[in-house]
């Protein structure tokens, strides 16, 4: 077992072949977590009804998803076991596989901006939009002070409103508008509530200064001051398959990725593959996946044309170099991150101690997921690996239970017919 310098390891041989209980125990042991984290990760009532009732409205129960662990991740020289809540087969396997390949080449390298969010305050139809803009910019210090008076906890932690920006839209369907942005360092929070409070607090003074009414006061999910970046570099040998040498696979990945740069139809699917990994970790850690999705796709369209969030190039020595950059507004406090017991246990399992560290690991998972799909698409095609794992779902749909599931799944994969009809026939044969 390779261990990193924290004594934690993300490499657990044979994990896939264990029972669910044995896997959970192995994962907790590898993460150095005590047994008491086990119940929260096991599901089956880990989110008490009373707690759920306090989280949203009109609660009638809880809804569960499988929680899997992506293995093999090394990010900036540190090992991470990554919790992923997702319903789609082959996502966890593909991420783990690509992380295993990356691990042999130094793993993933990441960086991130300070956790700065934007809140927007919309001023409607000022008589003098440019004059209003300049008056607001001149009142920068006063507006920052009003904003920061709202959250002494945040400012005490070194965060708070750090700047303002003002933009004029002289022609909208509702006339001219001046939009003030508050730029707020939200530290370890996702930050929506924190910045919304500030936006509402500055609004009356903004209206006074601009000489016109204010309407919207809300954060922007295009968190482009809070970007995260991940990079991986794989020598061609790492990508060699039975049928293709490494250089061919590298070229195949680069070719496949190029279409997503220029074609929105392909970019949507390519980015969906990235979000397969990102959303699963965002969800497992109790974060707001709609916010992450909105930010990612708005960032992908920032030039006016929707494009790929990642880039794949051929670097020195024929290495495959992959890079990903996107907004990542995730937190370790606030929202469900501190109330949901499984989310808290997932964060402990990862061993992240800041929102930025969490964001960076998530970006590494997104890049690994993207490579998993591209490698499969550039070589054997997506159906082989994906459908093999999907076969278990099909077996269950056909009515298989217990050990019938694996037997039926193996039979329909061997027959090359991963369909419910074939699974029913196989089930009849073994019953
Ligand atoms: C599925 C694999 C990994 C099989 O690939 P394989 O070559 O059969 O795998 P393997 O059995 O040789 O195992 C290699 C490693 O993969 C992992 N692995 C392998 N199997 C398991 C498993 N059952 N449970 C847990 N981990 C698994 C595991 O890490 C293992 O190493 P180990 O740690 O064992 O030494 C491969 O075919 C693959 O990566 N396929 C791509 C799958 C994928 O991308 N799925 C996403 C869903 S499709 C989609 O929604 C997005 C898409 C595709 O449209 C995006 C786009 O178009 O860009
Ligand atoms: N468009 C969108 O995306 C929207 C999203 N939301 C929701 O907002 C929620 C997230 O808002 P968020 O502001 O993060 O949540 P919270 O308001 O729950 O948490 C943030 C607060 O936690 C306190 N805090 C304690 N320790 C820290 C620390 N280390 N770093 C930062 N803050 C700390 C701060 O002050 P204090 O203790 O004084 O509160 C801070 O204001 C999510 O549930 C999201 O779904 C809401 C509206 C819109």
Low-confidence ranges of the chain (pLDDT < 70): 1-6
- Ligand 1 atom nearest to 94, measured from its CA: 39
Any ligand 1 atom below 6 A from CB of 73: no
Q: What interface predicted TM-score (ipTM) does this complex get?
A: 0.95
Any ligand 1 atom below 6 A from CB of 247: no
Known catalytic membership, residue 88? yes
Any ligand 1 atom below 6 A from CB of 338: no
Nearest CA to ligand 1 atom 27: 93
Nearest CA to ligand 2 atom 35: 153
pLDDT tens column, 164-210: 999 999 999 999 999 999 999 999 999 999 999 999 999 999 999 99
Any ligand 1 atom below 6 A from CB of 379: no
Q: What is the pLDDT of residue 309?
A: 98
d(CA 324, CA 340): 29
Report the separation in Å between the CA atom of 220 and the middle of ligand 2, taken as the mean of its atom positions.
14
Any ligand 1 atom below 6 A from CB of 84: no
Q: What is the pLDDT of residue 2?
A: 45
Q: Is 123 in a helix, a strand, or coil?
A: strand
d(CA 386, CA 106): 27
CB 121 within 8 A of CB 217: yes
Report the separation in Å between the CA atom of 221 and the middle of ligand 2, taken as the mean of its atom positions.
14
Any ligand 1 atom below 6 A from CB of 18: no
C-alpha angle 325-331-333 in degrees, rounded to nearest 5: 175
Unique residue bearing structure tokens 């991740």 = 73
- Ligand 1 atom nearest to 256, measured from its CA: 58
pTM score:
0.95
Known catalytic membership, residue 272? yes
Known catalytic membership, residue 270? no
- Ligand 1 atom nearest to 389, measured from its CA: 23
Cα distance from N-terminal residue to C-terminal residue, the chain? 41
Report the separation in Å between the CA atom of 1 and the middle of ligand 1, taken as the mean of its atom positions.
21
Q: What is the pLDDT of residue 1?
A: 39
Closest ligand to Cα 286? 2
The token duo for 320 is 């495959």
Burial call 410-429: b when 16+ CB within 10 Å, e when fewer? ebbbeeebbeeebbbbbbee
- Ligand 2 atom nearest to 338, measured from its CA: 18
Q: What is the pLDDT of residue 371?
A: 98
Q: Is 273 in a helix, a strand, or coil?
A: helix
Report the separation in Å between the CA atom of 356 and the middle of ligand 2, taken as the mean of its atom positions.
15
Any ligand 1 atom below 6 A from CB of 390: no
Q: Is 167 in a helix, a strand, or coil?
A: strand
Average pLDDT, the chain: 95
């Amino acid at each position: 077992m390779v261990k990193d310098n924290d004594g934690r390891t993300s490499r657990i041989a044979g994990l896939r072949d264990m029972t669910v209980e044995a896997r959970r125990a192995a994962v907790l042991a590898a993460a150095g977590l005590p047994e008491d984290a086990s119940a929260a990760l096991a599901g089956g009532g880990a989110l008490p009804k009373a707690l759920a009732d306090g989280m949203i409205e009109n609660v009638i129960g809880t809804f569960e998803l499988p929680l899997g662990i992506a293995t093999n991740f090394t990010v900036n020289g540190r090992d991470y076991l990554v919790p992923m809540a997702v319903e789609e087969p082959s996502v966890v396997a593909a991420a783990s596989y690509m992380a295993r390949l990356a691990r042999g080449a130094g793993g993933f390298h990441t960086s991130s901006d300070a956790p700065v969010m934007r809140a927007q305050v919309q001023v409607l139809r000022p008589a003098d939009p440019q004059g209003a803009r300049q008056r607001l910019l001149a009142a920068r210090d006063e507006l920052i002070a009003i904003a920061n008076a709202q959250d002494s906890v945040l400012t005490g932690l070194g965060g708070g409103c750090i700047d303002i920006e003002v933009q004029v839209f002289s022609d909208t369907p509702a006339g001219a508008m001046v939009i003030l942005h508050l730029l707020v360092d939200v530290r370890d929070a996702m930050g929506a509530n924190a910045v919304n409070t500030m936006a509402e607090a500055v609004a009356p003074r903004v209206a006074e200064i601009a000489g016109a009414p204010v309407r919207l006061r809300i954060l922007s999910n295009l968190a482009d001051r809070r970007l995260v970046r991940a990079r991986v570099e794989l020598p061609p040998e790492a990508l060699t398959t039975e049928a293709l040498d490494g250089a061919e696979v590298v070229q195949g990945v680069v070719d496949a990725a190029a279409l997503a740069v220029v074609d929105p139809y392909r970019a949507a699917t390519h980015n969906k593959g990235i979000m397969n990994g990102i959303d699963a970790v965002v969800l497992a850690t109790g974060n707001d996946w709609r916010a992450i999705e909105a930010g990612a796709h708005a960032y992908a369209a920032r030039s006016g044309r929707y494009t790929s969030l990642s880039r794949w190039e051929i670097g020195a020595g024929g290495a495959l170099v992959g890079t990903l950059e996107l907004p990542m507004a995730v937190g370790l406090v606030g929202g469900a991150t501190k109330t949901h017991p499984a989310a808290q246990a997932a964060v402990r399992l990862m061993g992240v101690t800041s929102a930025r560290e969490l964001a960076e690991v998530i970006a590494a998972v997104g890049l690994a997921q993207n490579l998993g799909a591209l490698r499969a698409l550039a070589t054997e095609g997506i159906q082989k690996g994906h459908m093999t794992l999907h076969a278990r779902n099909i077996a269950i749909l056909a009515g298989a239970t217990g050990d019938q599931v694996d037997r039926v799944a193996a039979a329909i994969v061997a027959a090359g017919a991963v369909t419910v009809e074939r699974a029913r026939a196989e089930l009849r044969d073994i019953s």
